Amino acid sequence: MKPSDEELVDRFRSGDEDSFRILVERHSPRIFNIACRTVRDRNLAEDISQEVFLRVYRFLDGFKKECRFSTWLYRITINVCFNAQRKRKEEPKVLIPSWEVANVGSNPGTPQLEDESFSPQKTLEKKELTTKIKSAIDSLPGVLKMTFILREFEDLSYRELAKVLRCSEGTIKSRLCRAREALRQKLEIYLSEGL
Amino acid sequence: MNCRRAKKKLSPYMDQALGDKEKLELERHLEDCSSCGHILRQLERMHSLVQKIPMEKPRPAFYEGLYHRLSQKEKAPGEGLFRVRYLWPVFPMLRLRRLAATVAILLAVFGSSFYLWRSLSVPEITLRAFDEEYLQSRQMIPLTDELILPISDERE
């Protein structure tokens, strides 16, 4: 039976460094995924994920178990993501050639929407659609984007979202409604029933 | 239920976060309103498209970089038993931030009370110093005919 996060935290506090590695391996894909969806840059997402785990390592003794470890971890991730985005906005923008824009946020090996057929035309269309969806999500205001990402990709419940984002469930409901409506309007041409 | 209200309920309806009554009202509205039904289908399609975007995975170099940075970080506070992390369970109150704040407050309290004490006792010291200086100055005037009287007498 796998030890719970809280058990691993206790073990780490008593000096077992390997427990921290287990925590890293267990949560890093999700943390990296959130960072990737938020900033759409693999290198920056890796930096963010590393920063998250460095903070966890540093402050794990201060974790009071008032909430679940994963909730605490998500909170740290959100803070680091927002800080990174703020820093990126302050930095001078680098112009990206138009032919590279389509690949922003994905490396050549990254799969796009799961392909059901091998038609090159369809693959290209799906690749384009993936990029459009990612761009649309990226264009959402910070808090709406984070709420949407945590709900859609991490499948967090309204209650968990409220805990992580420190607001009421009503606020979460309203944010998700606004985020989805904004995305629906942006992607309307791709959401026809025939497609 | 009107369309405006129904549109706000579509998102929680998809997440199955509506109460029984609200859910029933919305479903009744959707039976009659093709516009809201169309929006719901679009939202559902969008959800399914978003779900199909595969999860990104960190490269192996990510872990190497992280463990390297962790090992550097680990060495920073000290080695072995002297690492701050191991001292905390022994002295639970020894949290650096709290300690720093406590020291700062204590310094401020003691500093201000010392300053007040000094400033209140200054007039007495000044008066005594003034007396001594006065006496010295009187003694340093050799040609004076005046008698050097005790200060208490002079004051009277």
B142 pLDDT exceeds 80?
no
Let me know if residue B70 belongs to a domain.
no
Interface test with A, best of B52, B82, B99 (most A CBs within 10 A): B52
Which of B15, B58, B69 is closest, CB to CB, to A29?
A: B58
Cβ B62–A28 below 8 Å, yes or no? yes
Let me know if residue B145 belongs to a domain.
yes
Q: What is the pTM of this model?
A: 0.66
CA–CA distance, B120 with B49 (Å, rounded to integer):
78
pLDDT at B80: 44
Q: What is the pLDDT of residues A79-132, one digit of tens each?
A: 999 888 888 777 655 544 444 444 444 444 454 555 555 566 777 777 788 888
**Residue in chain B lying closest to A109 (CA):** B56
CA–CA distance, A158 with A68 (Å, rounded to integer):
15
Within 8 A of A180 by CB-CB distance, chain B residues are: 10-11, 43, 46
Which of B45, B54, B63 is closest, CB to CB, to A114?
A: B54
Cβ B53–A133 below 8 Å, yes or no? yes
Instruction: Give the closest residue to A182 by CA, choosing from A135, A113, A112.
Output: A135
Which region among A96-100, A124-128, B71-75, B149-153 has the lowest average model confidence (pLDDT)?
A: A96-100
User: If you average pLDDT over residues B2-14, what whole number do you get?
Assistant: 90
Number of domains in chain B: 2
DSSP single-letter state for residue B79: S
Cβ A184–B17 below 8 Å, yes or no? no
Query: Residue B1's pLDDT band (boundaries 50, 70, 90)?
Result: confident
| Tens digits of pLDDT across chain A (195 residues) | 788 888 888 888 888 888 889 999 999 999 999 999 888 888 899 999 999 999 998 888 878 777 888 899 999 999 999 888 888 777 655 544 444 444 444 444 454 555 555 566 777 777 788 888 888 998 898 899 999 999 998 889 999 999 999 899 999 999 999 999 999 999 888 887 555
Phi, psi of A191 (to 5 degrees): -105, 15
Distance of CA B7 to the CA centre of its chain: 41
**Residue in chain A lying closest to B81 (CA):** A15
Q: What is the pLDDT of residues B24-36, one digit of tens each?
A: 999 999 998 999 9
Let me know if residue B79 belongs to a domain.
no
**Residue in chain B lying closest to A176 (CA):** B11
Let me know if residue B86 belongs to a domain.
no
Within 8 A of B55 by CB-CB distance, chain A residues are: 29, 33, 153
Which of B10, B11, B65 is closest, CB to CB, to A50?
A: B65
Q: What is the pLDDT of residues B98-141, one digit of tens each?
A: 888 889 999 999 999 988 887 777 555 567 777 787 787 777 76
Give all domains of chain A, ordered by start, each with its CATH number.
1-96 (1.10.1740.10), 115-195 (1.10.10.10)
Distance of CA A153 to the CA centre of its chain: 7
Let me know if residue B60 belongs to a domain.
no
**Is residue B19 helix, strand or coil?**
coil
Let me know if residue B57 belongs to a domain.
no
CB atoms within 10 A of CB A42: 20
Within 8 A of A176 by CB-CB distance, chain B residues are: 11-12, 15
Cβ B69–A54 below 8 Å, yes or no? yes
The answer to whether B3 touches B35, Cβ cutoff 8 Å, is yes
Q: Is the dihedral of CA A49, A55, A58, A62 positive or negative?
A: negative
Let me know if residue B127 belongs to a domain.
yes
Which of A32, A58, A184 is closest, CB to CB, to B46?
A: A184
Q: Which domain holds residue B118?
A: 101-156
Determine what percent of chain B is predicted with pLDDT higher than 90. Answer: 26
Residues counted in chain B? 156
Let me know if residue B77 belongs to a domain.
no
DSSP single-letter state for residue B1: -
CB atoms within 10 A of CB A139: 11
Residues counted in chain A? 195
**Residue in chain A lying closest to B83 (CA):** A15
Mean pLDDT, rounded, of chain A: 82
Interface test with A, best of B23, B36, B70, B95 (most A CBs within 10 A): B70
CB atoms within 10 A of CB A170: 10
Gap from A152 CA to chain B (nearest CA, Å)? 7
pLDDT at A158: 92
Mean pLDDT, rounded, of chain B: 77
**Residue in chain A lying closest to B70 (CA):** A54
